[in-house]
Amino acid sequence: DVKVTQSSRYLVKRTGEKVFLECVQDMDHENMFWYRQDPGLGLRLIYFSYDVKMKEKGDIPEGYSVSREKKERFSLILESASTNQTSMYLCASSLLLVAEQYFGPGTRLTVT
């Protein structure tokens, strides 16, 4: 079974803090993704990576950066958290860019 894990289910941070969200997959997938999910807005792609050290901006990359130093691990970084980044963050991985995606359980981030 494919497993995608995320470092925290819930996180509370203060405005201006640097925040790291970690995602690990165990299926040797080339592609990994970070989404944020907000009510009524569906899943919005922040960044994705198609290989180690490779990254591409998604639809809403502003205020975020990513790191992929190892194939199984994809990190999302909020350089200076703001209240409008309070959201559910979902990581996913897939074998091909348009193939089935496997999602992690999500991290609910609250920025106060």
Q: Which of positions 28-47 make contact with other proteins (CB under 8 A)?
A: 35, 40-43, 45
Site string for other proteins, 91-110 (x = CB under 8 A): -x-x--xx-xxxxxxx----
Tokens of 43: 């899943």
* Contact status, residue 100 vs residue 94, Cβ threshold 8 Å: yes
Please say which residue, 52 or 96, places its beta carbon nearer to other proteins: 96
Region from 15-23, 60-68, 72-80, 86-94 binding other proteins, contact rule CB under 8 A: 86-94
32 to 66, 73, 81, 88: CA distances (angstroms): 11, 8, 22, 17
**Count of all residues that appear for the chain in the document:** 112
Please say which residue, 12 or 97, places its beta carbon nearer to other proteins: 97
